[in-house]
Structure 1
Amino acid sequence: MSEGLLALARLLAPEREEEDDDDGQAEGLGSTTSRAGPGSIGALPRAASAAAPTQVKPGISKEIWRAEEVPEGSEADDTWDSREQPEYEILFKQHVGAEDIFLGMSRKDPSTACCEDMLIKIKLPDTKISDITLDIREKVLDLRSPQKKLLLPLPHPVDTKSGKACFFAERDTLEVTLKMQREFDFINFS
């Protein structure tokens, strides 16, 4: 039985040349554990680490992350920007008709699950419409003016092509209306 264990040990451990220990004994199976120390934990022998070339799979670059992993709008977030964030309010809107109010023919209810649009009201005092830069993405609203900066993650994905914005100078308010695109809207609006 001891021959079987020795054969298994030779199979699992790579063969090495026999060297003399400090005691003058040849290195065998029992003496390998006595030579192990804290520096040998997790490290490869130098010959093995130098011989193993680094393999890079085709199509994989040395980037730390992919573009899909970066949150949308984070490239525009500047923590050193001293402009203050304006006051804003997010409201939800739904289109209702007489059949919804009086007859109850649709499945709409007053909850936000049945809303089609998102209305964002942003207070911009002492701002002209020509000074406002507005960028709408699927999940982020980015607004810049000389005094204010707003990078707002949106609660629901929106359609970037069908939004509208109106600036009311008498109230110093910008109102942005965006159509929401949610995953289960076909259930609520069918």
Structure 2
Amino acid sequence: MEYLGVSSAQNIQALSALLSNQQEEDDDDYTNVSPYAMMGPGNIGPPPKKDKEVPPVYVKKNSKDVWSEEEVAEGPLYDDVTDPRPQPEYEILLQQSVGTEDVFLGLSRKDPSSMCCEAMLVKIKLPDSKASDVTLDVKEKFLDLRTPKYKLGLHLPHPVFHQEGKAQFFSEREELQVTLLMNRPLDAVNMQ
């Protein structure tokens, strides 16, 4: 019995013909190319089936869906590309309510990590602005600030209670401070 190895191009072509069950058409472009250069891993086995391609716009997955994820544009939620106003400088600080019993005695399970923080302080520098010029809209995970000179669309690092925050404008520093209570799930660390 003869040993069938895959060392020759003829054996590879014979294996491809057995697996594909179709006749391959010879192209004139490959007459001067060696058989090894024409064969690759994609040539073994049956050719892939070509289904009718339907554009994703016409595919309706669920009759209750208003739009699909492909139709929603990527990027910030309230970003307006045509708005030339610059983004002001801002800083996000996380805050804890800590007493002496927490610091010295360790009676609560609080530690300095961000998992034990209860509030978020957002400091926004607004030079040449007045408190009456500021329009502020806070959602659960987004802060939208607009003034005649600045705009800020800020995705917050943690969800917040958007109805329970407070904002304070300091005219002497030209700074807006927004304090937001963080919406933390109750677990072993965040026992409030």
Please tell me whether residue 187 in structure 1 is matched to residue 191 in structure 2. no
Tell me by how many angstroms 1:146 deviates: 0.4
What is the letter of the counterpart of residue 134 of structure 2? Answer: I
1:164 paired residue number: 166
Cα distance, 1:43–1:142 mapped onto 2, change above 3 Å: same
**In the aligned structure 1, how far is the partner of 2:125 from the partner of 2:65?**
44
Greater helix fraction, Structure 1 or Structure 2 = 1
Cα distance, 1:55–1:99 mapped onto 2, change above 3 Å: closer
With the length of structure 1 as denominator, give the TM-score of the two structures.
0.64
**In the aligned structure 2, how far is the partner of 1:61 from the partner of 1:181?**
29
User: Residues 122-133 of structure 1: matches in 2 within 5 Å?
Assistant: 122-133=124-135
1:63 paired residue number: 67
Check conservation: 2:184, 2:190, Cα contact below 8 A.
no
**In the aligned structure 2, how far is the partner of 1:176 from the partner of 1:104?**
30
Cα distance, 1:75–1:44 mapped onto 2, change above 3 Å: closer
1:182 counterpart SS class: coil
Tell me by how many angstroms 1:137 deviates: 0.8
User: Residues 84-163 of structure 1: matches in 2 within 5 Å?
Assistant: 84-163=86-165
Structure 2 regions of 5+ residues with no counterpart?
A: 1-21, 26-47, 53-57
Check conservation: 2:115, 2:190, Cα contact below 8 A.
no
Cα distance, 1:99–1:78 mapped onto 2, change above 3 Å: same
What is the letter of the counterpart of residue 110 of structure 1? Answer: P
Q: Which runs of 4+ in 1 moved over 4 A?
A: 32-35, 41-45, 54-58
What is the letter of the counterpart of residue 64 of structure 1? Answer: S
1:20 paired residue number: none
2:87 counterpart SS class: coil
What is the letter of the counterpart of residue 120 of structure 1? Answer: V
1:176 counterpart SS class: strand
Work out which of the two has the higher radius of gyration on C-alpha atoms and give 1 or 2: 1
Say what the alpha-carbon RMSD is for the aligned residues.
3.4
Tell me by how many angstroms 1:66 deviates: 8.6
Tell me by how many angstroms 1:115 deviates: 0.8
Tell me by how many angstroms 1:64 deviates: 3.5
Check conservation: 2:90, 2:123, Cα contact below 8 A.
yes
